[in-house]
Amino acid sequence: MASYCMTVTRLRLVLGEGARRLHVSAAFNAKAKVAMSRFEPGTSISYEKLHENIDIVRKRLNRPLTLSEKIVYGHLDDPMGQDIARGRTYLRLRPDRVAMQDATAQMAMLQFISSGLPKVAVPSTIHCDHLIEAQIGGVEDLKRAKEVNQEVYNFLATAGAKYGVGFWKPGSGIIHQIILENYAYPGVLLIGTDSHTPNGGGLGSICIGVGGADAVDVMAGIPWELKCPNVIGVKLTGSLSGWTSPKDVILKVAGILTVKGGTGAIVEYHGPGVDSISCTGMATICNMGAEIGATTSVFPYNHRMKTYLNKTGRADIAALADKHKDDLVPDKGCKYDQVIEINLSELKPHINGPFTPDLAHPVSEIGAVAEKNGWPLEVKVGLIGSCTNSSYEDMGRAASLAKQALDKGLKCKAAFTVTPGSEQIRATIERDGFSKILRDVGGVVLANACGPCIGQWDRKDVKKGEKNTIVTSYNRNFTSRNDANPATHAFVTSPEIVTALAIAGTLKFDPETDYLTAANGEKFKLEPPNGDELPARDFDPGQDTYQHPPAESSSVMVDVSPTSTRLQLLEPFDKWNGKDLEDLQVLIKVKGKCTTDHISAAGPWLKFRGHLDNISNNMLIGAINIENDAVNKIKNRLTGEYGGVPDVARHYKANGLSWVVVGDDNYGEGSSREHAALEPRHLGGRVILVKSFARIHETNLKKQGMLPLTFADPTDYDKIRPDDKISITGLATFAPGKPLKGVVKHGDGSQDIITLNHTFNENQVEWFHAGSALNRMKELQ
């Protein structure tokens, strides 16, 4: 939805004395805690409605349905009249709930405030997990984060209380783990303002990552649009054993499909091999489906999910799911658009990277590959945890390896960090002794937060520019992502392999075949890891970290200071003036991979996620300029001097010159962060012209009134010169399915006429006309 620039209006944002907060008592057991936190006003589980909609659509289509189709079509706003065609039509859906992490929730809530609506229309939650920097250890880092981010946390807490949104305080844990423990259930449709929201697919949910503007649509009670996904089937046979883990399934799939192979599709796992994977293991697989561009991923309901629901205090939901199981598994005879088959009994441990999550290698081969390519063999740091791999089972299996090393008098040769996924996981692994084992082997237990996975890591052991290797159990390993060092070679693998490599200290170690040397000189091999799927006792809920929205919030006030450097109220973007876009200056022609990390970096920039003007100072500073192979160095065509990308963009805007970015394939890959769309719009951009887009980023651009366009002929990318001006013609008759024209004007006076495609539907064309989706919403109120 739309977005906005600074206004000097001051909106008070502090809790009034009469404001009521409902807290979950720390004395309650885990089951009571999740029960209270789950049921906000308006929450309901209606399998009857889901079944009714599925029945309508199945009769209309007259064919068996995949599980993905059942859940998605089961949430149609108009199941009787909706046009349904995989990969072509736009569906209007009614999601059950919304979840937002703190870095993206700031802009989402600022936009919701701008909408003028009094309360959210569906159950929604905010999760404080992105703003906690890893530096010393969990306790110290959390304390410092609360002090540094007090203004932002206060804004989110009071905005949540004001508008009916539940608030998980800093230290609660990572959004996706909290969702799995509390909110995901078989058949739910949940959207989240984070690209790894698909984690919930491990519990039979359709959980989709979106930008904040999409979340505002749903919170406003407006049907949410999604292009009808194709469905990729992954048939699993055999069973996992030994060193092979659930992470290896998605590492293998990423190697097959690549970072864009899942674009526009839901990945649906099925087959007899599914039952050999734990519920949290299935979540790991779905989580990292974001790395192949998939809309989401999902597993069918089974006994592993039922066990997890029971253990997390949701036996009532498990009983309901049992009764409606036929709607929570694929129909016999359903058809997939593509099928991949993986025999889990033959699957070997994998490690992917560096610099991209789809560069897959068997662990047994990575040492030789690294030597051949000149990648550093020494493992400087091993990092386990994150939203992808921080379950009780993950920590238990890692601890089983650490215990073997300790028994032989060894500690990790590499630095070693551990990130629990939630306060519940932290408390439980502390109680059950895993944390002590992991600390004893040399680990540092960090806060229950994203930390190094999203660049919140105050790393001190290497200098910037120093070539080095790290291995993580995370999901994403783009250049500079974890530590802002472009020379860091980051590899993603399972927590078990990370632990083994941290103990060995080198990539040239295959734990299945290679030996370690004990303190007494004895040679020994690590036994395959083992760990319980779930704790034998109930989970320990740990500290009380949840704030329930009060029933009465009229006395709750929200405060955004006009002098704040962290938060900024928003003004509407300008409407389309009814004319073609003439003589747009090429700001930068981007070479190669350009992720949302390149467009709007995280790490130290996270602190500005609620302040559009300040965060815009990082726009495209990581993108490679094809003119000089440099980052953040482009030529200002008005002055002839070179400057940073945002600086030149600001100069163009100040002089009334609109601009266009030209990019390569899968532009906007990675995070759901809508700041990568907000910033170009704020700084005067009108068009992003590329070979192809990642799904979320393309939608985010449309929401903000930008024109995301693709070359009808990808080779036309080569016709664009860095000093060109481009006019976009045909906007007077801008319509779905109708290409636009680009007039490329070269500095030597010559021109090229190129055809430009788009994926706008009728509603989205109105967003462009209005200047943004939020502007359009306000027009319709």
State residue 25's pLDDT score: 27
DSSP state of 220: T
* Nearby residues of 572 by Cβ (< 8 Å), 6 or more positions away: 2, 4, 114, 771, 772, 774, 775, 778
Q: How far apart are CA 146 and CA 705, in angstroms?
A: 35
| Topology agreement, domain 50-343 and domain 350-525 | yes
- Per the annotation, the verdict on 476 as an active-site residue is yes
State residue 30's pLDDT score: 37
Q: Taking 90 as the threshold, does the pLDDT of residue 23 lie above it?
A: no
Residue in 270, 426, 673, 686 annotated catalytic: 673
781 — pLDDT class (breaks 50, 70, 90): confident
Q: How far apart are CA 290 and CA 454, in angstroms?
A: 14
Residue in 671, 672, 692, 772 annotated catalytic: 671
State residue 379's pLDDT score: 98
- Per the annotation, the verdict on 673 as an active-site residue is yes
Find out whether 23 and 544 touch, Cβ atoms under 8 Å: yes
Extract the tokens encoding 780: 């319709």
Specify which residues 707 forms β-bridges with: 687
Average pLDDT over residues 371-378: 98
Nearest to 165 by CA among 93, 244, 220: 220
State residue 671's pLDDT score: 86
Which amino acid is residue 566, in one-letter code? R
* Nearby residues of 703 by Cβ (< 8 Å), 6 or more positions away: 1, 2, 211, 213, 214, 674, 677, 767, 772, 773, 774
Q: What is the largest CA-CA distance in the chain?
A: 80
The more confidently predicted of residues 41 and 196 is 196
2 — pLDDT class (breaks 50, 70, 90): very low
Specify which residues 209 forms β-bridges with: 192
The three-class DSSP label of residue 104 is helix
Average pLDDT over residues 464-484: 96
How many other CB atoms are found less than 10 A from the CB of residue 409? Answer: 11
The three-class DSSP label of residue 153 is helix
Q: Taking 90 as the threshold, does the pLDDT of residue 365 lie above it?
A: yes
User: Strands 740-745 and 707-711, how do they pair?
Assistant: unpaired
User: Please, what's the b/e burial string for 738-770 (b: 16 or more CB within 10 A of its CB; e: otherwise)?
Assistant: eebebbbbeeeeeeeebebebbbbeebbebbbb
What is the spatial order of strands in the sheet that 546-548 belongs to? 22-23, 546-548, 166-168, 124-127, 97-101, 189-192, 206-209
Q: Considering the chain, what is the average pLDDT of its residues?
A: 93
Q: Taking 60 as the threshold, does the pLDDT of residue 604 lie above it?
A: yes
Instruction: Identify the CATH assignment for 350-525 out of 3.90.1580.10, 3.50.50.60, 3.30.499.10, 3.40.50.12780.
Output: 3.30.499.10
Residue in 96, 102, 141, 194 annotated catalytic: 194
Residue 288 phi, psi (nearest 5): -85, 0
User: Strands 488-492 and 90-93, how do they pair?
Assistant: unpaired
State residue 18's pLDDT score: 27
- Per the annotation, the verdict on 671 as an active-site residue is yes
pLDDT digits (tens, 9 = 90+) for 97-125: 999 999 999 999 999 998 889 999 999 99
Q: How far apart are CA 551 and CA 544, in angstroms?
A: 20
State residue 44's pLDDT score: 54
Find out whether 33 and 541 touch, Cβ atoms under 8 Å: yes
672 — pLDDT class (breaks 50, 70, 90): confident
CATH architecture observed for domain 50-343:
2-Layer Sandwich (3.30)
Find out whether 214 and 253 touch, Cβ atoms under 8 Å: no
- Per the annotation, the verdict on 21 as an active-site residue is no
Q: How far apart are CA 238 and CA 97, in angstroms?
A: 35
Percent of the chain exceeding pLDDT 90 equals 91
Residue in 96, 102, 129, 483 annotated catalytic: 129
Q: Taking 90 as the threshold, does the pLDDT of residue 360 lie above it?
A: yes
Residue ranges of the alpha helices (H) in 190-302?
A: 212-219, 246-257, 279-287
pLDDT digits (tens, 9 = 90+) for 241-295: 999 999 999 999 999 999 999 999 999 999 999 999 999 999 999 999 999 999 9
pLDDT digits (tens, 9 = 90+) for 393-450: 999 999 999 999 999 999 999 999 999 999 999 999 999 999 999 999 999 999 999 9
Domain 581-780 has CATH 3.40.1390.30: no
Extract the tokens encoding 257: 């499909």
What does the domain layout of the chain look like in residue ranges? 50-343, 350-525, 581-780
- Per the annotation, the verdict on 776 as an active-site residue is no
Question: In whole angstroms, how far apart are CA 412 and each of 321, 365, 405, 442?
Answer: 44, 22, 8, 6
Residue in 92, 130, 304, 481 annotated catalytic: 130
Which amino acid is residue 34, in one-letter code? V
- Per the annotation, the verdict on 94 as an active-site residue is no
Q: How far apart are CA 309 and CA 315, in angstroms?
A: 6
* Nearby residues of 576 by Cβ (< 8 Å), 6 or more positions away: 705, 731, 768, 769, 770, 771
